[in-house]
Amino acid sequence: MSPISRRRFVSAGLAATAGVSGVAVAATLAKRYGLIPPDSGGIYGPGETLTYAAQRLLTRHSLAREFPRSMISRTPFANELAPFNDAFKRHQASGFADWHLAVDGMVARPASLSVSDLRGLRASSQITEVVCEEGWSYVAEWIGTPLHEVLNASGILPQARYVVYFSIEPDWWESIDMADALHPQTLVTYAMNDGDLPVGFGGPLRLRVPRQLGYKSVKFITRLTVTDSLKGFGKGVGGTNAEGGYAWYAGI
């Protein structure tokens, strides 16, 4: 084997230095522009960070595909639900008349909105696909209030970075960044196809995040918390699915 020449040694050293400093600069920039997901640690962190950063850089304003009415699935699949807790059953018995969505955290005017309050805000509808991480999917029409309308009504503070949302069912919460929270298709959904949102599909209120997988569309939501950090919520990785070993960002 021929000995490594000085020129080769120097150029390899320069390339390595350039590579390391390139990664360092990229990491600093990524952090500054909010391209690091909360589950960026561990062995899967690099892949997850690349996915999240790439999608945020390239798809921040993209709209999820919308379909013609003729493509609405005749057999949407509600998926499995744990038995309802007593609080939910009480609401169900009274036709969800007292169901409220609290808006708190980094907002100027915390609020508590009933389903009819939400119906009084500007309505939006979309025919989009629910995509489960398992592989199955269906298309439905979703009707509700855009999340940005709900948040803007309460006045988002400038340091806000995430919106955390909670189901009435215990240990069921998720979070999204402001790019998805303010996205026009992110919907506080109260109706589906031709009627009220059925309980199996998350009624009375479900947050639809159509640019991410179904597990980010939490059913039976009762609370939205605007925050600048996910550290204070559960284990700090931004949701029950992330705590259970799934990716926080589910745009892939």
Whether residue 204 is preceded by a cis peptide bond, meaning omega within 30 degrees of 0, is yes
**Binding of residue 55 to another protein (CB under 8 A):** yes
- Least CB distance to another protein at residue 89 (A): 22
Query: What CA–CA distance (Å, rounded) separates 100 from 205?
Result: 9
Q: How many CA atoms lie within 13 A of 5 on its CB side?
A: 3
Among 15, 16, 24, 63, binds another protein (CB under 8 A): 63
**Binding of residue 77 to another protein (CB under 8 A):** yes
Query: What CA–CA distance (Å, rounded) separates 104 from 168?
Result: 16
Residue 174 contacts residue 147 (beta carbons within 8 Å):
no
Query: What CA–CA distance (Å, rounded) separates 225 from 110?
Result: 9
Q: Judged by CB under 8 A, which stretch of 5-13, 22-30, 61-69, 157-165 contacts another protein?
A: 61-69
- Least CB distance to another protein at residue 123 (A): 22
Residues with Cβ within 8 Å of residue 247, at least 6 apart in sequence: 37, 39, 44, 48, 51, 241
**Binding of residue 73 to another protein (CB under 8 A):** yes
Query: What CA–CA distance (Å, rounded) separates 206 from 218?
Result: 6
**Binding of residue 4 to another protein (CB under 8 A):** no
**Binding of residue 234 to another protein (CB under 8 A):** no
Number of residues near another protein (by CB under 8 A)? 44
Q: Helix count (H) and strand count (E) of the chain?
A: 7, 10
Residue 231 contacts residue 171 (beta carbons within 8 Å):
no
Among 25, 26, 71, 97, binds another protein (CB under 8 A): 71
Q: What residues numbered 111-130 form the site for another protein, per CB under 8 A?
A: 129
Closer CB to another protein, residue 106 or residue 147? 147
- Least CB distance to another protein at residue 130 (A): 9
- Least CB distance to another protein at residue 104 (A): 28
Q: What residues numbered 201-230 form the site for another protein, per CB under 8 A?
A: 210-213
**Binding of residue 193 to another protein (CB under 8 A):** no
Residue 19 neighbours by CB distance under 10 Å? 10
Query: What CA–CA distance (Å, rounded) separates 162 from 174?
Result: 10
Among 41, 44, 85, 171, binds another protein (CB under 8 A): 44
**Binding of residue 35 to another protein (CB under 8 A):** no
Query: What CA–CA distance (Å, rounded) separates 202 from 81?
Result: 10
Binding site for another protein (CB under 8 A): 2, 43-44, 46-48, 50-51, 55, 58-59, 62-65, 67, 71, 73, 75-77, 79-80, 129, 131-139, 210-213, 244-247, 250-252
